[in-house]
A and B are shown apart, each in its own frame.
Chain A
Amino acid sequence: METWAVASICVLLGLTARWTVSLNSYSGASKAPMFGDYEAQRHWQEVTFNLPVRQWYFNTTDNDLKYWGLDYPPLTAFHSLLCAHIANLINPDWIELHKSRGYESPAHKFFMRATVIFADVLIYIPAVVVYCLYLAQGSSKTKSSALLCILLYPGLILIDNGHFQYNSVSLGLALWGVLGLGCGHDLLGSLAFTLALSYKQMELYHALPFFWYLLGKCGKLGLTGKGLILLVKISLTVLVSFALCWLPFLFDPQQTLQVIHRLFPMARGLFEDKVANVWCSLNILVKIKTLLSVDTQIYLSFGTTLLAVLPSSIKLLMKPTFWQFRLALMNSSLAFFLFSFQVHEKSILLAALPACLLLNELPLMSVWFLHTSTFSMLPLLLKDNLFQPYIITSLGFIVFSLYLFSAVDRSSVDDLRLGPCCRLTGTNFLWFSFSTVVKLQFALSVLTMAGLSFMSAALEPPAKLPDLFPVLVSACACVHFLGFLLYFNLVQLTESPRSDKKKIN
């Protein structure tokens, strides 16, 4: 069958999954007085449409920042404004100042869901298609398999089209950035990434690899000649596009400071709810959140994050190849998720994006990671009544990705790219036993996650421990993530120059 037909069928399947999931409930549905992320997005439309730009980020009589105040960068605000204008054309009640709080109706739900799908179709899906068809390596079958699996990744579908957010916009822009760098269009790539960063500050998780990759590339060209010119060009692109996005807030330093203050709310503590990162899991054993002062917490998380990203950053700077870049994206975003300050459970999606990009090369580990990442958001999904679509999409994803990539059979030392590591350390696995151990571990982990999922949904926790299941879920996911961080770092750091050539060809 022609490639375009297969690709369109994959896209249509992805869209069908998205829309059928969006028939389900959303975050905070009819849960007055605070509702949820759905109401937050609607409220931002209300605020941006009715108030002048300089009031958007300030607490005024018309803008109560305690009620879902705007805490994303300007591009999100502009996006809300655009949606608000369309909403105003259809039904002005949806965004009327003050009166529209908590507005819910089937027609409005349809509108909001449609805006998400529209952003998907416009930004995220084309980026995935271009990546899979033009940048990914392998036969046309593996390419279309990767396309289907990335588009069916349940985490993003459940959060964007179920819970309700616009992650596909920022992730899509970041992916366009990756594509730009991968195709050699460094300026376009950095432009796209700057836009991503101006849409959602969490994209900082991806910023370091972009920086080191471009710097390393300039270095390779010679920092006194061509490289310098490229560096200047890139910095100018970044600065100008940043300036354009932030234009309305740049004239008044007070405005700029207020926006930045809103974006990085240091007072909210080391973590909220149950997150599958190190601090939340440590908190079960040692109550660090109450023991340490906020300042110490910030320094601690800052220091550990930096330490965790450092090795992969240095390696990338020394060896700026596209393969290294993708691995560094994975390591950096995972390190940020595990160690940084004020992490949300949804931030794992930032690590899921690079994992999707590694599907072709490391199918088993990527599928495993992606599945774990969906699982780590289970408590949130349960709160939103999304258990049913969670089970269905996860089942579909894991079965189809394992089937299409024959991932389970590709679990030898070389398939996992651990060969150089073994040679370095002198470990001598028997090939047979190694892949059996990996398969067993994988089966055990998937079964554990399935068991925990059903227990969280079906069983009542004991009265003494009301948070038992969310804690178990996030601790289990955290252990997995630590393992993945170690694994992906090993793959990245031990990659030798010789095997690199093979991969590039």
Chain B
Amino acid sequence: MAAPRDGTLSWFLALTLGVSLIKFLLIKAYHSTDFEVHRNWLAITHSLPVSKWYFEETSEWTLDYPPFFAWFEYGLSHIAKYFDEEMLVVQNLTYASPATILFQRLSVIFTDLVFVYAVCFSSCVKYRVCFVTMLSLKAYFVPSFVLAVLLLWNFGLLIVDHIHFQYNGFLFGVFLLSVARHFQGRHLEGAFLFAVLLNLKHIYLYIAPAYGIYLLRSFCLIQDNSDGSLKWRNFSFIRLAALGIIVCSVFALSFGPFLALDQLPQVLSRLFPFKRGLCHAYWAPNFWALYNAADKALSVLGIKLKLLDVAKLPKASMTGGLVQEFQHSVLPSVSPLITLICTLISVSPALFSIWHRPCGARGFLRCCVICALGSFLFGWHVHEKAILMAILPLSILAVESKDDAGVFLILATTGHLSLFPLLFTTPEFPIKILLMLLFTLYSFTSLKRLFRPECCLINTVESVYLSGLIPLEIFCELIYPLTSWQQTFPFIPLLLTSVYCAFGIIYSFFRLYGILLRGPRYTTKRKSH
């Protein structure tokens, strides 16, 4: 939309209202089993004592989020009882009365207000605090408008939270608030918020290394030598102690009760279920998807060339993509430890980089994105939804530098397209196409306009790759189901999507590394419209 030019927040309220109305309209849309997962957690936390929360297993969807999230559900359940008491009974499996659906959907929409507040904070306040010197007052408005749209109208958040059903908006809100605190230099508050976030959803462990290094380097070390080298004498143990006390007390508050009940091993085994396979049923578009695909290709090739014996191959490998446990037939199998090592290796250069050459909060944010992407690419049993952890923080960087904007376009487009298999029902097909087009069109045109003097953001090869997503989607969703292969090889479209998107995501990972090591080029002069 044409950006209005007044200094007030009316445009922000209009954006919020617009996206909230779309969320309300999506109440009637399809919801996945995650809906039942959260209903079950409401029931567990409402009707059972704390000591049984992590033991209850009437439903297969046991509580596997950290304690703060359980308390969050406990709080929600006290509002839920005014909508429909029946949803709070543990035995009522797959209970979904209209009142239940309305309540659950509304709970997502209203807890999203945390996210809205955080976006308002990071897109408006942040600019006023930090960049007023950099951008003239008139110009700062346009990037903050674009940023607000990129965050609030994010395609992934809309379909994952408001169709598929999860509470990511609220969690990202806490995360963005924590990042904004670091931008303001209020590190203790930032650390506190992040500790809370870790206890709401432990997937944020992906970016914990970035937080750790950043806080040690930029907060605990008060001052550098004039030549930029480290000066250990300036290490402030008081600050470290303050950090430690804050983080530890948050964790104590969260896990303390379970430690006292002697249930910590049980809680942890619920939080980290390594019994699940390397990849989720639908392969997230990461390194292991390529690894699996290569394995499958090699085994097919081996059988064709009579190098391999069909009888000796593991049985599941030919129906792969449908089973949780994927056994490799040619390439060596991968254990959780190997994925952990790969992840650490992939993110360590970024961590070293911000240790040796901290680029302020922006460098920290870039390191967060790299950590999230590294864990996404090499982690154990990664969900496709985790890509949002990289896309959302990267939007903040994208409105500031041309390089980041280019990476953002590639990462967001491929990452969002890889979310398509989440919505496989027919009535939702037009919605995902429309919302995706809306977001992609906006992000491309607005970012291009933002950096217009410096021409194109992505090169020819990249744009060819991105346009390849269109025929891929048409083939997978429209043509393939009409062919006879749909019956025999139903997993082919999913496999194609995840392999194709994996290339784009791995590529953006390397490009981000390039920017981090070289240092981004910031544009100082920007057109105001």
Pair B21/A395 contact, Cβ less than 8 Å: yes
Task: Tell me if A454 counts as interface (CB < 8 A to partner B).
Answer: no
Task: Tell me if A486 counts as interface (CB < 8 A to partner B).
Answer: no
Q: A1-B449, A396-B17 are in contact. Are A9 and B29 (CB under 8 A)?
A: no
Q: A9-B1, A144-B1, A389-B25 are in contact. Are A19 and B445 (CB under 8 A)?
A: no
CB contacts (< 8 Å) of B26 on chain A: these are 20
Instruction: Give bound CA distance, A20 to B28, whole Å.
Output: 8
Pair A392/B449 contact, Cβ less than 8 Å: no
- Could you say which of B18, B27, B431 contacts A19, with CB atoms under 8 Å apart? B431
Q: Considering only CB atoms, which chain B residue lies closest to A396 in the complex?
A: B21
CB contacts (< 8 Å) of A400 on chain B: these are 14, 18
Task: Tell me if A24 counts as interface (CB < 8 A to partner B).
Answer: yes
CB contacts (< 8 Å) of A16 on chain B: these are 22, 431, 434-435, 438
Instruction: Give bound CA distance, A23 to B28, whole Å.
Output: 6
A98 to B: closest C-beta gap in Å = 28
A458 to B: closest C-beta gap in Å = 15
Q: A20-B22, A107-B426 are in contact. Are A12 and B437 (CB under 8 A)?
A: yes
Instruction: Give bound CA distance, A8 to B434, whole Å.
Output: 11
Task: Tell me if A252 counts as interface (CB < 8 A to partner B).
Answer: no
B456 to A: closest C-beta gap in Å = 15
Q: A392-B21, A392-B24, A399-B17 are in contact. Are A1 and B2 (CB under 8 A)?
A: yes
Q: A388-B27, A396-B18 are in contact. Are A5 and B437 (CB under 8 A)?
A: no
Interface size class of B (residues with CB under 8 A): 20 to 34
B54-75 interface with A by 8 A CB criterion? none
CB contacts (< 8 Å) of B28 on chain A: these are 20, 23-24, 388
| Interface majority SS (helix, strand, loop, mixed), chain B | helix
Q: Considering only CB atoms, which chain B residue lies closest to A143 in the complex?
A: B2
Contacts across chains A and B counted by CB atoms under 8 Å: 78
Instruction: Give bound CA distance, A356 to B412, whole Å.
Output: 37
Q: Considering only CB atoms, which chain B residue lies closest to A111 in the complex?
A: B426
Q: Considering only CB atoms, which chain B residue lies closest to A141 in the complex?
A: B2
Q: Considering only CB atoms, which chain A residue lies closest to B10 in the complex?
A: A403
Pair B434/A392 contact, Cβ less than 8 Å: no
Pair B434/A19 contact, Cβ less than 8 Å: yes
Q: A16-B434, A23-B427 are in contact. Are A5 and B441 (CB under 8 A)?
A: yes
Task: Tell me if A496 counts as interface (CB < 8 A to partner B).
Answer: no
**Which of B29, B427, B431, B442 has the most A CB atoms < 10 Å from its CB?**
B427
Task: Tell me if B446 counts as interface (CB < 8 A to partner A).
Answer: yes
| Interface majority SS (helix, strand, loop, mixed), chain A | helix
Task: Tell me if B7 counts as interface (CB < 8 A to partner A).
Answer: no
Instruction: Give bound CA distance, A393 to B22, whole Å.
Output: 9
Q: A117-B430, A396-B17, A400-B14 are in contact. Are A17 and B1 (CB under 8 A)?
A: no
Task: Tell me if A132 counts as interface (CB < 8 A to partner B).
Answer: no
- Could you say which of B10, B430, B445 contacts A1, with CB atoms under 8 Å apart? B445
Task: Tell me if A460 counts as interface (CB < 8 A to partner B).
Answer: no
CB contacts (< 8 Å) of B25 on chain A: these are 17, 20-21, 23, 389, 392-393
CB contacts (< 8 Å) of A6 on chain B: these are 1-2
A168-191 interface with B by 8 A CB criterion? none
Task: Tell me if A263 counts as interface (CB < 8 A to partner B).
Answer: no
- Could you say which of A12, A15, A17, A396 contacts B441, with CB atoms under 8 Å apart? A12
Q: Considering only CB atoms, which chain B residue lies closest to A117 in the complex?
A: B430
CB contacts (< 8 Å) of B22 on chain A: these are 16-17, 20
Instruction: Give bound CA distance, A13 to B21, whole Å.
Output: 11
A141 to B: closest C-beta gap in Å = 5
CB contacts (< 8 Å) of B21 on chain A: these are 392-393, 395-396
CB contacts (< 8 Å) of A23 on chain B: these are 25, 28-29, 427
Can you pick out 13 interface pairs between chain A and chain B where the beta carbons lie within 8 Å of each other? A5-B445, A9-B442, A15-B434, A19-B430, A23-B28, A109-B427, A114-B430, A141-B2, A389-B25, A395-B21, A396-B17, A396-B21, A400-B14
10 smallest beta-carbon distances between A and B, as pairs: A20-B25, A5-B445, A23-B28, A396-B21, A12-B438, A16-B434, A392-B24, A19-B430, A141-B2, A392-B21
